[in-house]
Amino acid sequence: MRVRRRATALALLLTATALPAATAAASARAGQRPGHPLPLARLFDNKAISDNAQPDAADFDGAGHSLSAQDLTAAGWRPGSSLGIDGARLGWPRTAPGAPDNVVADGQAVALHGRGGALTFLVAGTGADGVPAAGTGTVHYRDGSRSAYELSAPDWRSGPLSTKAVGLPHINGADGHSEPAVARLYAVSVPLRAGREVASVALPRDPGPAADLHVFAVSVRSNSPTRTGSWSASTAGYRAVGPWTDRTLRLVVHAGAGGPRARIRLANTFAAAPVDIGAASVAVQDAGAAAHSAPVPLTFGRGRTGTRIPAGAEAVSDPVGFRAPADTNLLVSIHLPGTVTAAPVHQEAAQVSYLSAPGGGDRTGDVDGAAFPETMTIWPFLTGVDVDGGPGSVVALGDSITDGVKSTSGANRRWPDVLARRFRSQTALPRYGVLNHGISANRIVTDRYQGDGVSTDTGGVSAQHRLERDVLAQPAARTVIVFEGINDVRWGTSADEVIAGLRAIARRAHERGLRAVAATIAPCEGYKDCTPVVEDRRQSVNAFLRAADGAFDATLDFDAVVRDPQHPRRMLPAYDSGDHLHPGDAGLKALGEAVDLRALVPGRG
């Protein structure tokens, strides 16, 4: 494949010396007039997908290998389907197996319109050495300005599982055999200039002989400036459940910010198969599984009562006229009409939710709680509740201390809960929503959950690998607070690696226009593995954070808030939950109350 592309480029160079060879070659292959943007589908020049019965009809990587159309269908990635990934809507190619379904990036001009915070590309790299395919492209705006972007596509066979959009269990070969190997596709986002409308996008030039960069879809991702996140939780893993057949989940969540209209976000992250949502509703909680008044039905895709969420994708309900009161528990009910044996979950909910009886059908409209005899302390599928209006959100990116481990269940005493109440009780600053994206056992540098398959590990992929989904894609996110690192230094990661990870998070947040704030790591002497070596690593990371070298916009000294002045390597007994690692309710309250709200407001800190 690459030999053919080189020959085409050489021939065109002789007749189109006014243009770069790669651009001329790409234009000729696609029938594109130089500089004239075309819809992405009209630029498709590579066949990635084959039917299992005719595997030689496609050649994705130049060596005769391709994606299985049957595997894609089983994952819910059907031709022409709309995929919600990391806040973007991406159209999967509307092509039959064996037809062109992607473009090899080589400077092509893509017609694209919209205004938002980022461009999201659905991509994969192919190359003999498994290295990512990367290059620099250009965004052209309606006002005549432009900006460059860097796009990197991990290899479709060896890229990280933890950041993939979807994984497929087979690879088709030209010899007719199906190889059991995970094929990966990736959603990769790059920043746009704030407030400017996109007119077109020039794809990266040919990255060279090492790898090809394949683009299947691209869209402008809105940053939802007219909405505020009221509640959210991170997908921490993909674990076995039930099985649940024809049952209704009634999930209890605590609304932080209030608003006159609401919507929910459901995610099928890490899944291998689609999930069907039969119906959904939202209500104010009365007591237990009972609603204060009749639940308000939710719809999807402009009026449908249910939806199918493909593997790795998400669904957002239509906004509905439901006034979500601030600082109030809500009931989000989700009917699962089929059989669900595994689900993406947030494991440490610190909250009791409810499950209807087997075969109980759609109970999303029930006011009383009689149909919900079972309880659970996880949040499956549900990742967010957003409200209309408001100034936007602060995102707390953390581990078990942010997640609320050791706080009183059902009392909403996590430190982000405290912070949310403080924002609501004042009027001098924007009254931001506060979104809790803590995951117990999470790390900055390495993945706990590896990002693929059913697992009992619900420590999540690393903070760096989930940053796009859990922070950058959150509605109207303004500021991120990073409070992580204790698990890294406890489990062998060097201070230098943690610092490098923190720098990377801050840099990516700044690229998207977010304010980046870090918190020092709290003491843990007395916990079983908090050795002197761990303490040395902790102190090194904290010294970096206190140095204020410009990586972060502000530092919150959580270490100083909770440590014992007489024994600074330990937590103050009054704040200790008893295990010497996690603060209890009093310690979490102290953390939330110690935050200078001005440090979280862009332009104020």
Q: Answer for the pair 123, 134: CB distance below 8 angstroms, yes or no.
A: no
The parts of the chain modelled with pLDDT lower than 50 are 1-28
Residue 318: Cβ within 10 Å count: 14
Q: How many CA atoms lie within 13 A of 286 on its CB side?
A: 11
d(CA 369, CA 291): 8
The predicted pLDDT at position 9 comes to 32
The predicted pLDDT at position 153 comes to 97
d(CA 403, CA 234): 10
Residue 132: Cβ within 10 Å count: 22
The predicted pLDDT at position 260 comes to 97
The predicted pLDDT at position 14 comes to 26
- The torsion angle over the Cα atoms of residues 233, 239, 243 and 246, rounded to 10 degrees, is 30
Task: Provide DSSP, 32-88.
Answer: PPTT--B-GGGG--B--EE-TT-GGG--SSSSS-BEEHHHHHHTT--TT-EEEETTE
Name the H helices within 428-531. Answer: 463-467, 486-490, 495-511
Indicate the pairing of strand 67-68 with strand 49-50: parallel
Give per-residue pLDDT as tens, 220-237: 998 788 899 999 999 999
Listed residue (118, 384, 102, 402) closest to 269, CA to CA? 384
- Report cis status (omega within 30 of 0) of the bond before 319: no
The predicted pLDDT at position 91 comes to 97
d(CA 272, CA 310): 9
Q: How many CA atoms lie within 13 A of 563 on its CB side?
A: 17
The predicted pLDDT at position 34 comes to 59
Give per-residue pLDDT as tens, 495-513: 999 999 999 999 999 999 9
Q: How far is CA 60 from CA 22, 49, 55, 81, 106, in A?
A: 20, 7, 11, 21, 16
The predicted pLDDT at position 33 comes to 63
| Lookup: tokens for 389 | 């209006």
The predicted pLDDT at position 605 comes to 59
Q: Answer for the pair 515, 602: CB distance below 8 angstroms, yes or no.
A: yes
Residue 384: Cβ within 10 Å count: 22
d(CA 113, CA 219): 8
